[in-house]
A = this chain, B = another copy of it.
Amino acid sequence: MKRQKSAAARVKTRDGGEMVPESLALGELDHRLGYFLRRLQIWVFQDFIQTLGPMKVRPAQYSVLVVIEANPGRSQAAIGQMLDIERARLARLLHELERRQWVTRRGARSDGRSHALNLTASGETALAKIKRLAEQHEFHLAAYVGVKRHRQLMDLLRDFG
């Protein structure tokens, strides 16, 4: 797992050793929130993918499964709008979840165009495991940034919008 660099951060060498790289000036990156946001976000994805490794689930798949469980029977359009996943991409993502027999798509009664999304029984079982691993990931993240900062960030980001 890569860690955010600080003056004393270490970097892995290719034979498994470690070294302390000379620290370089950030320039105006030091005033770009996006830079720091991006660095943490990359760490989060890497840890998430690693922690969820046993279930082979990526962040986007996880978010779709959670939202289907919380809103069974909704259409692809509804789920996609909520998660800002483009419908072409969501179609492919659901095809994979259907292949793994975690999700069903059946034609909606009310509108012949839309597909109602639901979890299968094995999808529910898988998601239970997945949610336990996601919880583990959240603990990793809290430990990485500090429990207090974790709570502060959550409050700042969740309340806005």
- Min CB distance, A37 to chain B, in Å? 5
Among A96-104, A106-114, A147-155, the stretch in contact with B: A147-155
| Interface contact A70-B27, CB-CB below 8 Å | yes
> Helix, strand, loop or mixed for chain A's interface?
helix
Taking a contact as CB atoms under 8 Å apart, the answer to whether B81 and A29 are in contact is no
A31 at the interface (CB under 8 A from B): yes
**A84-B42, A160-B145 known; A153 and B6 CB under 8 Å?**
no
Interface size on A, residues (CB 8 A): 62
| A71 contacts B by Cβ under 8 Å | yes
Is residue A67 contacting chain B, with contact meaning CB distance below 8 A? yes
Chain B, residue nearest A81 (CB):
B21
A4 interface residue (CB < 8 Å to B): yes
User: What CA separation (Å) do A131 and B31 show in the bound complex?
Assistant: 11
